Amino acid sequence: MRSMTTSNQTQSLTDQVWQHIYAEAQATAKTEPVLAAYLQASILDHNNLGHALSFHLSTKLASAVTPAQMLRDIMDKVFADSATIGCAAKDIQATVDRDSACNLYSSPLLYFKGFLALQAYRVAHHLWLKNERSLALLIQYRVSLTLAVDIHPAAIIGCGLMIDHATGLVIGETAVIEDCVSIMQSVTLGGTGKVSGDRHPKIRKGVLLGPGAKILGNIEVGEGAMVAASSVVLKEVAAHSIVAGVPAKVVGHVDIDEPSKVMDHYFKSP
């Protein structure tokens, strides 16, 4: 019963997010008619979020040897899965809730490359799990070239993420990111050399990763923690701690459960 309820809630959110996007596109097409054709092709010609997202992503990632229609056919199948498109809806809602520059539900879909790169990762991850790994790596490669974001398709990433600006973001093969995390630009979740196996960070629920943060190695950033801008994290970070510096050290503790939702990068030194 709980699973059914969760599934219904996810579908409801997906429908609500799509209704917002569609209504915004209709309104903008009237107030800014120069964009009418773009909005018609990107949103108004589609009947759900999955189809619109497939069209928009495939158009952005296409090349002479990876035609848009080929990519779109692949993405349509992936986004037909309610859980996958549900994650996309949660990512949009997270962006609207947390990004002060985002006033419209349609903005992440149309203009925010952090959101788009994350959804392309979701497609690549689906293919990776199906053992279609060359195709998954091809999508990763196209995303890296076109959006300046490099997420390995084997990484495990939850829902309700907000990736702000996104340029220079790198997420390694064995990284894990749980739900409700916020990540700023130029963040690296990397290894520490040529060590094989499980070698990348584990980012727990509600974490806030500041601009330029580098978290290296198979270490855990605990639930509700915060990593300050430009920090280099080489050791475990306890839940609800604030770390800063090179190398990062504990400089305080957050007094809220999920700093990712508040997006307050300021902290007082002890």
Evaluate if residue 266 carries a pLDDT over 90: no
Total number of domains in the chain: 2
Specify whether 105 is located in the same domain as 233.
no
Amino acid at 253: H
- According to the model, what pLDDT value does residue 193 have? 81
**Does 159 fall in a domain?**
no
3-state secondary structure of 151: strand
Residue 104 and residue 182 in one domain: no
Q: Quick one: 145 and 180 in the same domain? A: no
User: What pTM value is reported for the model?
Assistant: 0.94
Mean pLDDT of 35-56: 98
pLDDT computed for residue 1 by the predictor: 47
Q: Which domain holds residue 244?
A: 172-262
What is the reported pLDDT for 265?
82
pLDDT greater than 60 at residue 4: no
Q: How confident is the model at residue 269 (pLDDT cuts 50, 70, 90)?
A: low
Domain final residue, candidates 150, 180, 206: 150
pLDDT at 82: 93
Does a structural domain hold residue 92?
yes
Q: Are strands 249-253 and 241-244 parallel, antiparallel or unpaired?
A: antiparallel
- The model's confidence at residue 136, banded by pLDDT at 50, 70 and 90, is very high
If asked whether residues 255 and 190 sit together in one domain, one would say yes
- Evaluated on CA atoms 157, 165, 136, 90, the torsion sign reads positive
CATH number at residue 61: 1.10.3130.10
Does residue 267 belong to any structural domain of this protein? no
CATH code where residue 248 lies: 2.160.10.10
Instruction: Output the pLDDT for position 10.
Output: 83
Same domain, 56 and 134: yes
Q: What are phi and psi of 143, to 5 degrees?
A: -65, -45
Verify that 249 and 127 share a domain, yes or no: no
Q: Backbone phi, then psi, for 247, in 5-degree steps?
A: -70, 160
What average pLDDT score do residues 58-70 get?
96
Across the range 95-119, mean pLDDT stands at 97
Q: At which of 118, 150, 182 does a domain end?
A: 150
Instruction: Answer whether residue 161 is part of any domain.
Output: no
| Average pLDDT over every residue of 229-249 | 97
Question: Does one domain contain both 255 and 195?
Answer: yes
Residues 183, 146, single domain; the answer is no
pLDDT on residue 23: 98
* Same domain, yes or no: 140 and 176: no
